[in-house]
Structure 1
Amino acid sequence: MTRPPALTLTVIVPAHNEERGLPATLDSLRCQSIPPEQIIVVDDGSTDRTSEVAASYGVTVLRPPRNLGSKAKAQNHALPHCTTDLVLAVDADTVLAPDYIERVMPVFDDPDVHVAAGNVQTRFTRTPWERGRSTEYLFGFHWHRPIQHLANSPMVCSGCCSVFRRTTLADFGGFPERTIVEDMDYTWSQQSAGHRAVYVSDATAWAADPETLTYLRKQVWRWMAGFMQNVRLHLPRLLTRKPMLATWIIVALLEILMAPLWWATPLILTLTLQRSVAPTLAWWLGGELLLTVPTLLYAARRRHLPVAKVLLNLPFVYLNKTVNLYYAWKALIVELILVPLHLSQGLLIYEKGR
């Protein structure tokens, strides 16, 4: 059997005021076991030394005449400069494992695969919010994502480290700018068109996540609003063209709707069954741990992480879940109710999450 010719790859790194985080990202790109043909940094209206830092690495630096206003627009600014088979989009605060490209590229030997991304973990666990996010990532990328992959219907190829077929991306019009989260929009669009999106569990990237509540709120609001925008845009078509993906989306919506009831369960049982608070709360916590801890233990072993550290981070996830739930409900009301009724424009302005 003749192996297809080796694919070529260009990296696009959109950056806005990233002089501190950019060096680690570029170092990880220069250390790849399969180096990219080209690295393009888009300095999107930075007021710091982002351009100078990028230029010192010998990469191509593009600087639009003004700030373009979103990651998708910055990436699209670079797309006409790409001539390779594949495009890897990497956030300017994300670090890739040295074999990231090597592990992702083989999935594109399948001509039906048009977008792929690896496993994302947190770079830092210094603050409560980062520690909570580390638990979210460990659980999501070792429970939800593998199941979705086995069903050939991943919910999203993470925008901080996704690889795309360049011609398909260009024919689509580039990275989608119609929603506030381009990665989910493109992942759903490609699957709706009959193409495959793939999760590559052995390819690892480490993302820098919000270290303060202020930035976490901005990021989660953007993510949740973007999810609901994509529900509004894609769900009707996915129900007929990609029913399994539509199923995951509906399950996610049901989880958002039912979460307040689950969180209030101890109080409800205490009031309705006239039981003491302690046993009821213990039952509820036991259920939570049973649903969560086995996956975290597996993830710790899979990623060679200290089990004690992983479990000590678990309580902090409830801080993040509180923020997630608030903005999920806000996004549901704004994007799925107020926008269709022309009572709101929804979230239109892209704000960085850190």
Structure 2
Amino acid sequence: MNSPAPRGRYDRSKRAARKRKQSRSRLRLPMRYLLPSTLLVALLVMLMLRGYVHNEFQADHRVRPPAPTSQVPKEVLGGGPVIDARAGVPRTLRIPDNRIVLTFDDGPDPVWTPKVLDKLKEYDAHAVFFVAGNMAARHPDLVRRMVDEGHEIGLHTFGHPDLSYQTSERIDRELSQNQLALAGAAGIRSSLFRPPYSSFSYAMDNKSWPVTEYIGGRGYLTVVNDTDSEDWKRPGVRAIVERATPKDGEGAIVLLHDSGGDRSQTVAALDLLLPDLKKKGYTFTRLTTALDAPSAHTPVTGFALWKGKAFVSAVAVSERITGVLVVGLAVIGVLVLARFGLMLLLSFAHARKVRRKGFRWGDPLMRPVSVLVPAYNERECIEATVRSLVASDHPIEVIVIDDGSTDGTAGLVEAMRLPRVRVVRQQNAGKPAALNNGIRHARYDIVVMMDGDTVFEPSTVRELVQPFADPRVGAVAGNAKVGNRDSLIGAWQHIEYVMGFNLDRRMYDVLGCMPTIPGAVGAFRREALERVGGMSEDTLAEDTDVTMALHRDGWRVVYAENARAWTEAPESVQQLWSQRYRWSYGTMQAIWKHRRAVIERGPSGRFGRVGLPFVSLFMVVAPLLAPLIDVFLLYGLVFGPTAKTVAAWFGVLVVQAVCAAYAFRLDKERMVHLISLPLQQILYRQLMYVVLLQSWITALTGGRLRWQKLRRTGAVEAPGGTSTRTPQRAAAGSGGGNGTGRRPHA
């Protein structure tokens, strides 16, 4: 007979297996964040790239005043507009007589460059375009057109800084990035260069000349001008033509601009200048042609070509994404303001209706009701839950449906021996099955449902069932409130519950399209539940699912603001993620399940064309776009305009604060918790965005989301101020439930 393995070896084996399992869990955990995080990082990179090519990242608008010329060679000061310092000994070149080299700086511009090119093509003239790299990267099609139509391209740096202020490293970067843009746009490199803010060769001084020498050493031919049209001053068409016309048939390099502002006068001047100079015998040609020199263009191949194409493509993507984001920001801005305005208006109307003197749903309803408490491993909370129900001032029976708990939840309730409290045991089957089982055991025609970790006030049941005096009412939503609001996460959820949920419910009540009866506190007419088939297991948001089904069946669903229930909200980011992930995904499932209501008639069609669009817009689409407000806040802080960006962001925050303050006033809550509202908008909104994005991904990829069991502490404060967690249970250990009465099951 084989002897058993030593106990120590067995324990070590179990510990090793447990560590391997935990290690795999740690490896799997970040995967849920991977795609949303990747999208956020990619978005940030695209915005940074957009800021860079729009010269918002390292813009330098300084222009150096004139300096002494003692270090500039006399040959340069008295020479031509083309400076060749490539061989170490500088020399200058002039354009031969009767030849003109038209040069255009600062482009390409999507508005003016095509018009300039059209004029040049009309008069069969060629020119040199000194393009800025950031403009070339954004408008590569115009650079390609320049090359295809026989024009010459020169460099004008990437971001147009005065190079006399820059280091050699910055100068090299300006040149290389300019070449990269040219390679990506037209597949070429160029050996021509014009410094920003340059003019004539005799204007070289002790600050600009060292830059020219350095650039010559890098293999570039520096091109200034000897005929300045001064079109950048916009002096008028006739003045531009006069200043751009050489004297006595001399050759010239004429300075013009195709970007940097309104160039309509430049375009109009070309209509006069080109035919006039042609009549005088001038030829409009490329610079290298005028000098009888080899072409300034060199084809780019191999890795350098693909690198340039990748850069230009990335810029194009960043431009499109930014355009979409701007539209999205405008949409979310309109939605946010419209939603807040609608909430305030309809909530005010709701408050006036329910607080109107003499308002009643009908005769006071005092007949007994059944309260269902689905519970799975709720030992930490169940005693306080049941005791709060027994203290109710309305006649009730309490049915605790134990969904296969393993922590003695059912036994604890039975040991309490409270009147009007029954325990129904079942094998673990999930919350919908537990509720349906409870409905079968219920004695009365009105059924109240709650979670096993929730505490009712004495008046909650009474307030919850009064609307059933109206025979058209099929269900009533109560007012769920966060009990553990002392932590930062709890305070944020408290704001969300009061403002985002209860203010919404007032709005939806007036519109007649309440989307959800909260699982923590809701009541149903038994007949209505039976007509829609009870609680469904088709979605992970059975409360939203059944509420939509009731609307489609023609029942009214209303809100009872004084039916307060105190629930324990998740206290950690991980638990909050699990809960909201399930809510978001379940809501999307419910919307999809009831989508045919949009095309149906009667009550179903009315809900489908009012309720479903509202829920989809405000609970699924708008929250996905909301972080754009914060994204553009960061973008504005980095790239500007900072003051306007901050003012706009605070404007939205003020609107939210006004809505939140009004919601707190309606709910008679202390305003002190609104202190954390700005931080909530920055951090909490991002978490909700990632949760919703993950839900979208799960839905679109056909994934199935399992129920997440949340750990409860039983620390919610009862209305009287007594903690729901007794010392005995605290010493007994954890084992808290998930607040849903349901656990994962096959």
Asked if TM exceeds 0.5, the reply is yes
Query: Given the alignment of the two structures, is residue 60 of structure 1 paired with residue 427 of structure 2, yes or no?
Result: no
Alignment partner of 2:510 out of 147, 150, 156:
150
CA apart distance, 1:264: 1.4
Instruction: Letter of the 2:496 partner, please give it.
Output: E
Residue 647 of structure 2 corresponds to residue 288 of structure 1 = no
2: CA distance between counterparts of 1:206 and 1:318?
Answer: 27
Equivalent residue, structure 2, for 1:39: 398
In structure 2, the gaps of 5 or more residues are: 1-361, 712-746
> In structure 1, what is the Cα distance between the partners aligned to 2:382 and 2:507?
33
**3-state SS of 1:194 partner:** coil
How far the C-alpha of 1:94 sits from its partner, in A, is: 0.9
Equivalent in the alignment of 1:15: 375
Deviations 1:293-324 (A, max 9, x none): 12222233333333223434662464432222
Q: Partners of 1:27 and 1:286 in 2: how far apart?
A: 46
Quick check: 1:72 aligned with 2:432? Answer: yes
Q: Name the counterpart of 1:223.
A: 583
Q: Secondary structure at the match of 1:154?
A: coil
Structure 1 residue 352 corresponds to structure 2 residue 709: yes
CA contact under 8 A between 1:7 and 1:86: conserved in structure 2?
no
Mapped partners of 1:250, 1:84: distance in 2: 35
* Match among 221, 239, 251 for residue 617 of structure 2: 251
- Of structures 1 and 2, the one scoring higher in RCO (CA 8 A, sep 6+) is 1
Q: Could you tell me the TM-score, scaled by structure 2's length?
A: 0.43
Match of 2:474 in 1: 114
Which residue is 2:570 aligned to?
210
Alignment-derived partner of residue 262 in structure 1: 629
What is the alpha-carbon distance in structure 2 between the residues aligned to residue 255 and residue 57 of structure 1? 49
Please point out which of 383, 386, 390 is paired with 1:30: 390
C-alpha distance in structure 2 between counterparts of 1:318 and 1:73, whole Å = 39
Instruction: Tell me if the contact between 2:478 and 2:563 (Cα under 8 Å) persists in the aligned partners.
Output: yes
- Alpha-carbon distance in 1 for matches of 2:395, 2:674: 33
- C-alpha distance in structure 1 between counterparts of 2:364 and 2:661, whole Å: 39
CA deviation vs aligned residue, 1:5-37 (integer Å, no higher than 9, x gap): 75431011011111111122112211111131x
- Greater Cα shift, 315-324 or 196-205: 315-324
In the aligned structure 2, how far is the partner of 1:254 from the partner of 1:351?
24
- Aligned to 1:87, the other structure's residue is in SS state strand
Does the aligned pair in 1 maintain the 2:468–2:474 contact within 8 Å? Answer: yes
Amino acid in the other structure paired with 2:672: A
The answer to whether the 8 Å contact 1:129/1:319 transfers is: no
Answer whether contact 1:155 1:245 (CA < 8 A) is retained: yes
TM-score relative to the length of structure 1: 0.88
The answer to whether 1:169 aligns with 2:529 is yes
- Does the CA contact (< 8 Å) of 2:365 and 2:465 recur in 1? no
Change (3 A) 1:313 1:283: closer
Residue type matched to 2:652 in 1?
E
Q: Distance in 2 between matches of 1:111 and 1:160?
A: 24
Larger deviation, residues 19-28 vs 286-295: 286-295
What's the CA shift string for 1:203-232, capped at 9, x where partnerless? 211111101122111101110110111121
Q: Give the letter aligned to residue 692 of structure 2.
A: A
Provide the residue aligned with 1:329 in structure 2: 693
Matched residue, 2:462: 102
Q: State the match for 2:551 in structure 1.
A: 191
DSSP-derived class of the 1:63 partner:
strand
Matched to 1:302, the amino acid is L
Max radius of gyration: which structure?
A: 2
In the alignment, is the contact (CA less than 8 A) between 1:133 and 1:320 conserved in 2?
no
What's the counterpart of residue 640 of structure 2?
275
Q: Alpha carbons of 1:210 and 1:298: their partners in 2 closer, same or farther (altered >3 Å)?
A: same
- Structure 1 distance, partners of 2:660, 2:365, is 39
Q: Distance in 2 between matches of 1:85 and 1:157?
A: 18
Q: Percent identity?
A: 27
CA RMSD across the alignment: 2.2
- Matching residue of 1:298: 662
Aligned length: 340
Flag structure 1 segments of 5+ consecutive residues without an equivalent: none
